[in-house]
């Protein structure tokens, strides 16, 4: 795996978590709007039917578990990426990569915060990525 793909994993996992959180909000809204039909008669010995509310709640619980697992993976992945970035010799490279791949900041925001133009940021990024490639190939 190349350095840029390695570093981008956290960004994509974070976006996946955000998407699942949006799904969870929609499921919560459905679960809150769903009503239980108490007029249905229960048949003894028959197969129990599940209500739409019960289905929504079960799916919501499953999704919450998925999100928690993804968050745990994201924390571990970010910790690993930060350790890798920490092996760079140039402090400005470290800051740039952390801002981009851990903080998820845009190139424009990074350029403003570092007081550089975009071209300089891209040049620094290219050099930092080459160093990360060297670090990753040694391990």
On the 0-12 / 13-18 / 19+ scale of CB atoms within 10 A, 27 is buried
What is 89-139's CATH number, 1.10.10, 1.10.3470, 3.40.30, 3.40.50?
1.10.10
Q: How much is the average pLDDT of 14-28?
A: 92
Q: State how far the Cα of 29 lies from the Cα of 25, in Å rounded to an integer.
A: 6
Instruction: State pLDDT tens for residues 41-56.
Output: 555 555 566 777 788 7
On the 0-12 / 13-18 / 19+ scale of CB atoms within 10 A, 85 is buried
- Token pair belonging to 1: 């795996």
What is the domain partition of the chain in residue ranges? 7-34+51-85, 89-139
- The single residue listed with the structure tokens 């108490």 is 38
The confidence band for 57, taking pLDDT boundaries of 50, 70 and 90, is confident
- The single residue listed with the structure tokens 């998820």 is 104
């Amino acid at each position: 795996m190349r350095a840029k793909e390695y570093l981008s994993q956290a960004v994509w996992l974070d976006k996946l978590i955000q998407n699942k959180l949006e799904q969870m909000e929609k499921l919560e809204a459905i679960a809150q709007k769903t009503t239980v039909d108490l007029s249905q008669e229960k048949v003894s010995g028959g197969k129990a039917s599940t209500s739409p509310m019960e289905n929504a709640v079960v799916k919501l619980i499953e999704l919450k578990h998925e999100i928690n697992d993804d968050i745990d993976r994201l924390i571990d992945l970010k910790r690993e990426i930060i350790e890798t970035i920490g092996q760079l010799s140039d402090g400005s490279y470290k800051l740039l990569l952390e801002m981009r791949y851990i903080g998820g900041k845009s190139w424009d925001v990074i350029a403003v915060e570092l007081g550089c133009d975009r071209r300089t940021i891209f040049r620094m990024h290219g050099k930092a990525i080459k160093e990360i490639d060297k670090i990753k190939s040694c391990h």
